[in-house]
Structure 1
Amino acid sequence: MTLLKAFGEGNAVLGISDLVRITGIEKSSVQRILATLYAEGMLNRDNHSRRYRLSNQWLHMAYAHYIAEPLTSQVMPRLFALQQQIGQSFNLAEICDTSIIYSVRLPVQRTNFEGTLVGRTHPALNTSGGRAILSTWDAAARQDAVKNWPVTEYTPRTTVDRGEISDLVEQARQDGFAVSVEEILLNEIGIAAPIKSSSGKARAAIHCSVSMADWSVDRVRKEIAPLLVDTARTFFDPRAEE
């Protein structure tokens, strides 16, 4: 599993020496594990470069995940309806360790390629989705996350000051939704509302992103936020109690 987790964004194609360096596993063990994974069809190998990448067999596992995950089937029709109503990009964002991972993505024409892919992650503290989710956690958990979870500076407007991030999480707790402005991409506003469990805790959020060429923050708050909050309230996520 350590070896497989080495394959990711920025490390999509790796050789034996790369995997030894990244994982710290000795070379003979890496070679043996790679041989097994290749034989089972879980990895593809370039016979010229002798480098490996994940095979499309992993899409079968992704399909199995979606079939087993009831929240996805609940959320998808509502996201389609919201997209048709507003004409903007909508996503389902979920907590994955200290990041958010996009498990459903409904892009629009302006969306870049990476923004169309499920499985992409960002540090939760940098995103409206992550802050919306954290805003539903108890005070100790919120404070621990803000203090210890990683942040990445994507743009000159990315909030990296942890005191400011704490204020944004508390604002989201008060508003019932979170807004980010040009923090992941320039000229983009993100807005997210948490999907809660019966206790009020969330591990997922409905997220929308819009272009600042067409939308202001005030307009997003007035026109999109109420729709996201109302939609999120129609779902129940029991995983948040786990």
Structure 2
Amino acid sequence: MSPIYTPTFRYDDPTLTPPAPGRALIEDIGLVESLPGIGPKSGGGYIGVPISIGPLHTRFLRPYDGVETTLPNTDLRPWRTSFLVAAHSQNCFDLPDRPGWNWLRWTVADHLAHDAAAASADEPLVIVPCGATKDPTPSKIPAGQRYTGTYHRLGLRAAAALAGPNATRILSARFGLVPLHHLIEPYNLRLGQPGSITAERLREQAADQGLLDHRNVVLFGGRDYTTLAQQVWPHAHTPLAGTKGIGEQQKRLAEIAACGQLH
């Protein structure tokens, strides 16, 4: 029988003050766990001590059997039990919904993206609208691969000329503010329809992702998308404003992609 492993990390702050998210927090906790549904065929999940946290994958040692395993950062999250137990001892059962604690829902990839965004606060945050034409794959795939229309792909090319992938978001009519690596399923929904993203929810997402106070925001897309996003970032640049139709917008996006500048 494998020896019982006892984690050494313990969160015992009675005030439930949230620690800052990021790689340093993952290293302090010293444990990562797989998301629900990610695990051995026999059932259950993985948990382990991180050995190497890379930009895309994390290698960890499973303490219960001594086996080293590598998983995508999108399939792992920091171990959360100690925080949730401390909250329950204070009769708090909604800790992930409290200010500063939203990272309890983050994957390792989200924590690394947060660090990258903080390190490049002056880098533009570029928001690209979703598109009606989508990859029909029924299972979840990265948001950056889901939309296949010409307009959207031009938007991503223009965004890549201005900022890195960690500073690019897709504004999805259904899911709201989505990082490129975030996995989403196909859908058929337009802005303004019942169930579509609202300005209030978009603001909450921006706050959760640490982007609400970003100084340099660039909004691509037509009037519906920019009007919605400007309720969150009223100071944002809208380089497609004043264009006369989709054709002219696509031309401007292609120019931005070619020169890497808005003007």
TM-score normalised by L of structure 1? 0.29
* Structure having the larger proportion of residues in helix: 1
TM-score normalised by L of structure 2? 0.27
